[in-house]
């Protein structure tokens, strides 16, 4: 086992009680009613700007169907937005995401997280 993995395991052991409390909040949140976040929140603009820069297309803020874990973050006070690939064949035997679409989403998320966190 490499040193980084050892450090991660030590962190988990050291913060065991805090981690259990955090995870129990997630379990409780799973039982909550539907939730939403402000479509004017700065993260929406950040996601739109990065998606536009990377793909030339600006996604629009819309309500989506359930099926994400965003409610779990919202339940503990963290604004959560969903930006993902087109659901090609969702729920079928041929459900998939093309590699380039996946990489675009990863790039957009990484740049958006960086922009948001570096401004706070």
- Report domain extents, the chain: 1-31, 35-118
Residue closest to 111 by CA, chosen among 56, 40, 54, 50: 50
Residue given tokens 């790039």 in the structure block: 107
Mean pLDDT for each consecutive 10-residue tract of the chain (120 residues)? 78 81 72 82 96 95 80 85 85 87 93 92
Does the global pTM surpass 0.95?
Answer: no
What is the pLDDT, as a whole number, of residue 35? Answer: 82
Q: What tokens does 97 get?
A: 């995401």
Phi/psi at 96 (5° precision): -165, 165
What is the pLDDT, as a whole number, of residue 34? Answer: 77
Q: What angle do CA 105, 106, 111 make, to 5 degrees?
A: 100
What is the pLDDT, as a whole number, of residue 51? Answer: 96
The CATH classification of domain 35-118, taken from the options 1.20.120, 1.10.150, 1.10.10, 3.30.70: 1.10.150
């Amino acid at each position: 086992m490499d040193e980084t993995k050892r450090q991660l395991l030590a962190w988990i052991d050291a913060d065991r009680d805090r981690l259990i409390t955090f995870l129990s909040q997630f379990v409780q949140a799973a039982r909550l009613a539907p939730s939403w976040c402000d479509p004017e929140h700065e993260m929406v603009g950040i996601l739109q700007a990065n998606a536009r820069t990377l793909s030339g297309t600006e996604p629009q803020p819309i309500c989506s169907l359930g099926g994400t874990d965003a409610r779990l973050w919202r339940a503990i006070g963290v604004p959560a937005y969903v930006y993902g690939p087109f659901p090609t064949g969702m729920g079928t035997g041929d459900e998939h995401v093309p590699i380039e679409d996946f990489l675009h989403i990863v790039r957009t998320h990484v740049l958006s997280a960086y922009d948001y966190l570096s401004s706070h």
